[in-house]
Structure 1
Amino acid sequence: MEDANLTVGYVAERCGVKVSTLHFYEDKGLIRSWRNQGNQRRYKRDVLRRISVIKAAQKMGLALEDIKAAFLQLPNQRTPDKDDWAQLSATWRAQLDARIAYMQRLRDSLTGCIGCGCLSMAKCPLYNPDDILADDGVGPVILDRAKVPIK
């Protein structure tokens, strides 16, 4: 392909990733390269934006499978343009907001367990809702399950 003239080294340096990362992204179907007559990988310029989107999405905690699925929704699997980014980032923002809200609820629920130190307290919303662990015995039964027998 005539306009695929960026070398793997250039793309890696320009994007701040290792060459092996580019190979990994390619294996996962996130980016695409072409081979020149010497069988060397060459990339089109739009791969720089595509990798930037991948890195931004990863920083938000998205899995590569989710990023790939988002790319597959684009017409002809094109590199996201400004409008595509607006739509992708809005979707990802909602997911990030939901994760933040979950983590805040988790953080706010932890004080009871931290203050008590017992993971089987009667009303623990994390480990023992409605005291379901009472049937398993007394004390920190979850920790007791994790014990490895001493030989």
Structure 2
Amino acid sequence: MSAVPAPSPDGPPPPGRRQRLRARWADRLALPRFAFWLLSRGAVLLAMCAALYVLNGFLIGWAHAYDVLVGITSPAAVCPQWCAWPLSLTGWAAIPAIIGAAAGYVITEQIQAHHARELDDVLNELRRLAEPPLPPSPSSGGDA
């Protein structure tokens, strides 16, 4: 017969760093839509924009990179242009799209939070309220 070890009075050992990270990564699916988008897709897009800005900062200078990003300076006016054009397009199209997507998610969540009742429930209540009131029931007791 094999001996079964007695359970430890302290309980199971605490989870390691790897198990905690795995649990945190799995918990992201339970986040609200905006937080999930921000952690999954938004973070990737923002990291790519930041990497492009840093690359341009080293190649054309930080002030020129900022001016190209916000559209003050044309990417044709800086050298090298091969890295300034993607930065300019990022500042012109990608950054407003990211901000618009984030605002859209926030607004959608706020609208959905205020939809407390279904349309059918509201219509049924309105129909019930529109019906004429029932006549009062005759009282069983006599008046003296």
TM-score (normalizing by structure 2): 0.26
Larger-gyration structure (1/2): 2
Structure with more contact order per residue of length (Cα contacts < 8 Å, sep ≥ 6): 2
More strand by share: 1
Which one has the bigger helix percentage? 2
